[in-house]
Structure 1
Amino acid sequence: MKKLLEGRIAIVTGAGRGIGRAHALELAAQGAAVVVNDFGVSLAGEGSGESPADAVVAEIEAAGGQAVANGADVADFAAAEAMVRQAVDTFGGLDILVNNAGFVRDRMLVNTSEEEWDAVIRVHLKGHFAPLRHAGAYWRAEAKEGRQRAARVINTSSGAGLQGSVGQATYSAAKAGIAGLTLVAAQEMGRYGVTVNAIAPVARTRMTEGAFPEMMAGVEGGFDAMDPANNSPIVAWLASEEAADVTGRIIEIEGGRITLETGWRHGHADDKGARWEAAEVGPALRKLIAQAPDPEPVYGA
């Protein structure tokens, strides 16, 4: 039986540990050749001197798969370009980009430093943009040469970015930005045969064990709802040729539950047909608020 991703070529960023490692293993098990990217940093994004990507590559190869390690900083524009080129040079092309790399520096908003803000926004948001930009340029060039690929991008947002999370203003802002980037990229890149979706995973990782210890226990009736690998079959399907009609979507995954997020939508409106007077705004806006559903609660509120 042909595997779901047989003959396809993937990059998974932040794939040395946790969710990214699980993605790389699942994609390889489904037949994809995988560039396993990991910069080898601590939870706070500091250099650790480790090369966890090599261990994942060895695991994939031991199971009969194909993989190569990459140690690029995904938010370095030139390094991200070289990572895309490595996939093409090593395996002959690129079909799948899974943007997963990131770290946290959680603080209440008024305690957040400029350095912390810049570091988290850089790795998550620019770290999605740079690989996506270079992969997109490759896929556009392929399409113009008559070699359009069934290309797939799976970004990584978060419930923190969709509903907000107390103590994670910077992380929430970055993940919300990724959701917006996903919507725009899906529209712009569809003409080249590219679908762009995002997941909002829930799992036990270095980033969540300390922040949500009770929730991360997650084992009931023999099923570990917080196992990072629970997210990866959804990523594998989104990366497949079967998923050609699914784009611009954000899917939250928690254990065995998948939820299609609906996101911001135009709600009730009141059109005066002229400029509002300041004194009129309160009654009009309160009427609209009364007609609208309550917002999703912020995590930790």
Structure 2
Amino acid sequence: SELVMPVPAFNIINGGNHAGNGLAMQEFMIMPVGAKTFREAMQMGSEIYQHLKKVIKQAYGQDATNVGDEGGFAPNISSSEEGLELVKKAIANAGYVDQIKIAMDVAASEFFTKDKQYDLNFKVQPNNGDGKVDANGLLDVYKAFIQNYPMTSIEDPFDQDDWKAWSKMTSEVGVSTQIVGDDLLVTNPIRIRKAIKEKSCNALLLKVNQIGTITESIEAVSLAKKAGWGVMTSHRSGETEDTFIADLAVGLSTGQIKTGAPCRSERLAKYNQLLR
């Protein structure tokens, strides 16, 4: 079959447990869907990343451009809308408004509370609980994101065992938006089969060292593709300079890869392998 180079999802703002700021949601990414080649996608991503650095410096000062675990900037903001506005401005300043889509990894399991609410202020101290919303309230937040920004993909929008909320979101916005299962699926064929049956999401996040073997990873991709899902190959927050996942993304024609910002050698190693 024909070789498919993946569209990269560059993580350019870090939040959640991957950054020391007030942002509840973990990853704000850009996807250069309008790029004709992987090389062009890299150029677009790198330019927007540098424009974002300038935008953050202008808004929050010189010391606001520290980076999080995956190399994305971690300005001390607490609102996801504020983060999305920064990304939107950087895309416009770089001149790529029509070629770039925004993606997110919410990692909602990290702020799912014992009373089955989602605490969008879980990193704010003291926390009076006024940031808590239920699954329906959080779905409304995502619908606003989709309406107000060029949002193409949302990963882990709910807790890994909140199956009902996942299915509701996929049925309501899944036609226009990719709903990616990471914590929900953990690259496990058993959970993937359940998600297919319950129509819980429409894309798989492929993490080889999460399931543990290449054989099971291939099975997971095969199941996802047969269900008509998208597949996004992924790094981990703690990474090495090993480039195998870049080769795997091409070999399995996953079509998408996320491996951090265009920054830090353990992230760039994968992008450089794809450029070769």
Higher relative contact order (CA 8 A, sep 6+): 2
- TM-score with structure 2 length normalisation? 0.38
* Pair member with larger Rg: 1
TM-score, scaled to structure 1: 0.35
